[in-house]
A and B are shown apart, each in its own frame.
Chain A
């Protein structure tokens, strides 16, 4: 090998090597790949949830492209003449007829349509679960606040993608969904009616909306989603991935297999698994049977008309408003049955969006965090999260109030009242229970670290006393339990002019509330002094 001259060296190169050299000499890509390929990606199942979202989005793009070849976004009226018997001769829009043709007369069309829709449901669900993981492990803290905002924007964009797609086939279900949106818009004071006419190009439903939603659904929104995903991933590379506490894992490193070759191979395989799962579901389970719903007609509404799951919370919010919240004042109708849920959902969305900044302001914590928290070690955050989840879940469940009533033999009114309680009181109960559970778990961890775990071995001492032997934890397990960072509530300090402002008092009281009843992590000193006492 060492004797090989430069000329023979070129001849001996494998095809791969020559190709790589050829490309590199023209693009200098080697440096980039070396940098990116050496990135470590910590291994934990919950770190793959974002990937699930990304991969289902790829499935959506591929299947969606296929659908655009056959879908016609027109509301011109035709008489259906395809192969589905119970709709033969029925008057419908071209959009509906072409969706039926995709379902019954395009080879593989129904399969791809069902893949597209199932992948869309999975996309938003994976984003939701991914977001919960980020929240409960505190992975949104400095320096990742912007990435939380980008991710949450993606969640909103995904919902918009979903809703515009749901509305395209112009079947009864999508028309009913649009009618609710129309009602929501018209419920906004002063500008409502005008805005609705602007959106629909005249009185609902008009002949414009499908074409307009189509432009959004296949062009504007996907472009935004792709742009935000790119930004999201750039930030993941810039910040490195978070990791859970463990031996050798510090704030300065990221421990895990490198992206190339192991991680890339795993992720590549994972993409095909996701694709396969979606394909299997699409092949076996009906989704959105537009042939049952028939063409949109403003008069009928089917029982069990619901939006897709990710819009359910908004539908639920409308269902939970008690009757009589609409009245006439100053010769105008004021629809508080619509304004209140809109405002409540708006506030909720802004709070979630801004949460990283809110928590940073309350705690005054300016350190960088690359070790993900265990949820129990941030009891107040976890409790706030549980309260938020309860609020959302209550609204979400309310969207299926009729199905809950029929399938659990309940009265619809009973379901609605119970869910009203869940949405209003539930978050507080969830907050207190979660906070107490977290603190209890922290105390248990502390106990185990200081006194070891119960071995189940009972020993009789010479004096006749029975004791259970506590075994000390091994060092690796202990690492997980003790390495979390301690915070302290903010102190009230006078500002530059020597004054304590009301704002500061407010911030300090919030901070006291946030750190109330906190359990400090076991210190080294405690550990060493506690180590001696075996009992």
Chain B
């Protein structure tokens, strides 16, 4: 009885405390690790009210005309409540926002803000409602499986962006931009937020690891020149046809003229 009681035994009086301590250490550690990843990249204290306040000032000076003073949206621009830091980091970080003019879609242009200001804006908007956060480094640095990424890219992205990421046309003047010089973090943010005419690829649709594979493939294409020589814009047969007619046949016609020229 006694033995049995000892075996099933009462827990040590401090067991609960120990369990709590272990749990807290793990959660805190994981949180610290994750937020360290984010803050290392952002170099901005995301939680600080000061960051959010700075972001709010920038927002009201540069964005409120279209998005409204509290980002609630107007006739000229959508509400930004709940779009998350990732959306702002993409749109402002690639120079698409603030938008130069209304058109089929926002054009890329030189980035208007410093990295710090972009992050301040991002966390101000993130403070308005929960939304996708800026992804952590290990997801956007490549280092995944390029072959799997290439396959995912062909199935999910190539119909608009072209198999080599050279871009392509959409309807009514809209277009899928080339991905030849887009950074990993912006590619990731585009996938999770679906900017302009792009659909959202959430984490159930394409998991974060799959997104990392896609970025790995695009980085491979960006970093490795075509094994066949100059790529002619990776545009496919149209560029090849133009090249052979203008430069190939052009050169050969010039040679025929030279061969049949009468000697002076």
Quick one: closest A residue to B161, CB to CB?
Answer: A303
Quick one: closest B residue to A111, CB to CB?
Answer: B228
Verify B256–A286 contact, CB threshold 8 A. no
B109 CB, nearest partner CB in chain A, Å: 14
Residues of chain B within 8 A of A399, CB atoms compared: 238
What does the 1/0 interface line of B213-240 toward A look like (CB < 8 Å)? 0000100110000111111101111111
Whole-angstrom CA separation of A275 from B252 in the bound complex: 11
- Which residues A352-401 have CB closer than 8 A to chain B? 399-401
Verify A273–B255 contact, CB threshold 8 A. yes
What does the 1/0 interface line of A31-56 toward B look like (CB < 8 Å)? 00000000000011111110010000
Verify A285–B228 contact, CB threshold 8 A. yes
Verify A302–B158 contact, CB threshold 8 A. yes
**Interface of chain B, helix or strand or loop or mixed?**
helix
Q: Is B36 an interface residue (CB 8 A)?
A: no
Verify A126–B228 contact, CB threshold 8 A. no
What does the 1/0 interface line of A285-319 toward B look like (CB < 8 Å)? 11111011110010111111111110010000000
Residues of chain A within 8 A of B110, CB atoms compared: none
For the complex of A and B, 8 pairs with smallest distance between CB atoms: A303-B168, A309-B241, A286-B228, A402-B169, A411-B173, A45-B256, A121-B244, A405-B169
Verify B147–A285 contact, CB threshold 8 A. no
**Interface of chain A, helix or strand or loop or mixed?**
helix
Verify A403–B238 contact, CB threshold 8 A. yes
User: Which size class do A's interface residues fall under?
Assistant: 35 or more
Q: Is A431 an interface residue (CB 8 A)?
A: no
Whole-angstrom CA separation of A294 from B162 in the bound complex: 12
- Which residues A425-480 have CB closer than 8 A to chain B? none
Verify B155–A309 contact, CB threshold 8 A. no
What residues of chain A have their CB less than 8 Å away from a CB belonging to chain B? 43-49, 52, 84-90, 103-104, 110, 114, 118, 121-122, 125-126, 129, 172-173, 266, 269-270, 273-274, 277-278, 281, 283-289, 291-294, 297, 299-309, 312, 399-403, 405-406, 409-414
Residues of chain B within 8 A of A305, CB atoms compared: 236
Verify A90–B151 contact, CB threshold 8 A. yes
Greatest chain A CB density within 10 A among B150, B160, B164, B248 is at B248
Residues of chain B within 8 A of A400, CB atoms compared: 238
Greatest chain B CB density within 10 A among A104, A269, A285 is at A285
Sample 12 A-B pairs with CB under 8 A, ordered by A number: A45-B257, A45-B259, A85-B146, A110-B228, A277-B251, A289-B228, A297-B154, A302-B162, A304-B235, A312-B241, A405-B169, A411-B173
Q: Is B172 an interface residue (CB 8 A)?
A: yes
Q: Is B171 an interface residue (CB 8 A)?
A: yes
- Tell me which of A89, A274, A287, A406 contacts B167 (CB under 8 A): A406
A164 CB, nearest partner CB in chain B, Å: 15
- Which residues B56-100 have CB closer than 8 A to chain A? none
Number of A-B residue pairs having CB atoms within 8 Å of each other in the complex? 199
B136 CB, nearest partner CB in chain A, Å: 24
Verify A304–B238 contact, CB threshold 8 A. yes
Verify A292–B256 contact, CB threshold 8 A. no
A198 CB, nearest partner CB in chain B, Å: 28
Verify A125–B235 contact, CB threshold 8 A. no
Whole-angstrom CA separation of A88 from B160 in the bound complex: 24
User: Which size class do B's interface residues fall under?
Assistant: 35 or more
Whole-angstrom CA separation of A275 from B256 in the bound complex: 14
Q: Is B26 an interface residue (CB 8 A)?
A: no
With A52-B252, A86-B147 as contacts: A292 and B244 at CB distance below 8 Å: no
- Tell me which of B231, B235, B240, B248 contacts A277 (CB under 8 A): B248
A86 CB, nearest partner CB in chain B, Å: 4
Residues of chain A within 8 A of B256, CB atoms compared: 45-46, 48-49, 52, 270
Whole-angstrom CA separation of A285 from B231 in the bound complex: 6
- Tell me which of A273, A303, A410 contacts B162 (CB under 8 A): A303
Quick one: closest A residue to B253, CB to CB?
Answer: A45
With A44-B260, A86-B220 as contacts: A126 and B252 at CB distance below 8 Å: yes
Quick one: closest A residue to B258, CB to CB?
Answer: A45
Whole-angstrom CA separation of A374 from B247 in the bound complex: 27
A132 CB, nearest partner CB in chain B, Å: 12
Residues of chain B within 8 A of A48, CB atoms compared: 256, 259-260
Whole-angstrom CA separation of A88 from B155 in the bound complex: 17
Q: Is B21 an interface residue (CB 8 A)?
A: no
Residues of chain B within 8 A of A89, CB atoms compared: 147
Verify B237–A309 contact, CB threshold 8 A. yes
Verify B151–A266 contact, CB threshold 8 A. no
Verify A277–B259 contact, CB threshold 8 A. no
- Which residues B154-192 have CB closer than 8 A to chain A? 154-155, 158-164, 166-173, 175-176
Q: Is B198 an interface residue (CB 8 A)?
A: no
Q: Is B55 an interface residue (CB 8 A)?
A: no
Quick one: closest B residue to A281, CB to CB?
Answer: B248
B94 CB, nearest partner CB in chain A, Å: 18
Quick one: closest A residue to B237, CB to CB?
Answer: A306
With A86-B147, A125-B248, A412-B170 as contacts: A266 and B259 at CB distance below 8 Å: yes
Q: Is B135 an interface residue (CB 8 A)?
A: no
Residues of chain A within 8 A of B232, CB atoms compared: 285-286
- Tell me which of A44, A289, A308, A406 contacts B231 (CB under 8 A): A289
Residues of chain B within 8 A of A52, CB atoms compared: 249, 252, 256
Whole-angstrom CA separation of A86 from B218 in the bound complex: 10
Quick one: closest B residue to A267, CB to CB?
Answer: B259
Verify A292–B163 contact, CB threshold 8 A. yes
Verify A284–B146 contact, CB threshold 8 A. no
- Tell me which of B104, B149, B158, B249 contacts A303 (CB under 8 A): B158
Quick one: closest A residue to B175, CB to CB?
Answer: A406
- Tell me which of A172, A291, A411 contacts B227 (CB under 8 A): A291
**New contact pairs (6) apart from A300-B159, A301-B158, A402-B169, CB-CB < 8 Å:** A129-B253, A172-B154, A277-B252, A303-B167, A403-B238, A410-B173
Residues of chain A within 8 A of B260, CB atoms compared: 43-45, 47-48
Verify B226–A121 contact, CB threshold 8 A. no
Residues of chain A within 8 A of B242, CB atoms compared: 309
Verify B220–A301 contact, CB threshold 8 A. no
Greatest chain A CB density within 10 A among B164, B166, B234, B240 is at B240
